Amino acid sequence: MAINLEVPRKHRALIDQAHQVAMNMLRPISRKYDIAEHEYPKELDVLAAMIDGLAESGASEGAGATGVRRDAQDEDGRVKNGSNMASVTSIAEMCWGDVGLMLSFPRQGLGNSAIASVANDEQLKRFEGKWASMAITEPAFGSDSAAVSTTAVLDGDEYVINGEKIFVTSGERSDCVVVWATLDKSLGRAAIKSFVVEKGTPGLKVERLEDKLGIRASDTAVITFTDCRVPKENLLGSPDINVEQGFAGAMATFDNTRPLVAAMAVGTARASLDLTRDLLQQAGVEVDYDKPAYLQHAAAAKFLQLEADWEGARLLTLQAAWMADNRQPNSLEASMAKAKAGRVGSDVTLSCVELCASIGYSETELLEKWARDSKILDIFEGTQQIQQLIVARRVLNLTSAELK
């Protein structure tokens, strides 16, 4: 099956629209909500209404977290550029504006991606329009999602959930939380399931909000579950524990969300590159794409190297999304995209700060903010090191027990 990584023609209007929103609505309030951490960006309510309108009209092409779902190929076997491709390309544009604000969009949380990935048709309809955050990480573990110790015990027609989750994006603002919990710790990874817990459910408590290095516009919460009872119908996907399948069901969420986070890094890095090129030009340093790097100013040569790295991250992100749209297994490619884009995002934004010297380090421009924002994109949804480990296991065909 041939893959074409040019921006699909049918998505260009959506991407242009996202770019206009990023430039005219997100950039102007970016610094405001970076300083006013934990304050809800009320301007986003207008944008949320616009996105809802596009979705209802069918003009959104499935963009946004709620659209992340594997589409079937066309009946004639042609390749498809569907909701995953629309999501990564539009999200990259929005993050060209502000990644923290993009993460704060109502009804576009990472939990929405989880619901879209593993929910059945009835659950998709029931939770439609909800803003869902995703609660995975716990105080005792970070990247090893299989170490989940939050428990869910079936009691009649309800599951009783107990545990603590940290670093929950949009944990306070969301309508519900997709929480990962184990049905039976002795059965290992296979017993880990995700549950939708509505806000206001007795036993769910937002304990505090974190103060952070970057993405300050996005609220990050600590949430506890104490004898929290949820209907058994709120378990996403199948309640059966399939030891042979192992962690595959839960990990399907990451196959969809990791390219989204890669796209965030791609968009943030592109913003830094665009501004840096302009600032270099103002300082008399021209970047010449027709001349070898070693014949150019050192700053221009460095800029060309950063752009080449960025292009590699962008193409890997598009590949992972394209494979999802065409129903091809993309766990390896999703991790490759996340690993490459996460590292490149930090490298590019920090290097742009260096290239622009005092302007880059000051609050005169947004370069220092983008450098702070980009670091989390190399950490959440699986750290750089975990992604490299996953890639190594896939390439070498080794299990997690064989390669730790």
Q: Which residue type, as a one-letter code, is found at position 97?
A: G
Q: Which residue type, as a one-letter code, is found at position 252?
A: A
Q: Crossing angle of helices 248-282/331-355, nearest 10°? A: 20
* Alpha carbon 108 to its chain's center: 10
Residues 133/171, Cβ–Cβ less than 8 Å: yes
**Closest listed residue to residue 4, CA positions, set 391, 321, 339:** 321
Radius of gyration of the chain (CA): 21
| 381 noted as active-site residue | yes
272 vs 279: CA distance, rounded Å: 10
**Closest listed residue to residue 317, CA positions, set 373, 250, 261:** 261
Task: Point out which residues pair with 274 in neighbouring strands.
Answer: none
DSSP state of 288: -
Query: Catalytic pick from 61, 138, 333, 381?
Result: 381
**Closest listed residue to residue 336, CA positions, set 352, 321, 351:** 321
Using DSSP's 3-state secondary structure scheme, residue 20 falls into: helix
Provide the b/e sequence for 255-291 (b: ≥16 CB within 10 Å).
bbbbbbbbbbbbbbbbbbbebbbebbeeeebebeeee
Return the percent helix, strand and coil in the chain, to nearest 5.
50, 15, 35
Q: Crossing angle of helices 331-355/298-325, nearest 10°? A: 160
Q: Crossing angle of helices 83-97/248-282, nearest 10°? A: 40
Q: Crossing angle of helices 248-282/298-325, nearest 10°? A: 150
Neighbours of 66 (CB within 10 A): 27
Q: Is 383 exposed, middle or buried (0-12, 13-18, 19+ CB in 10 A)?
A: middle
Indicate which residues carry an active-site annotation.
381
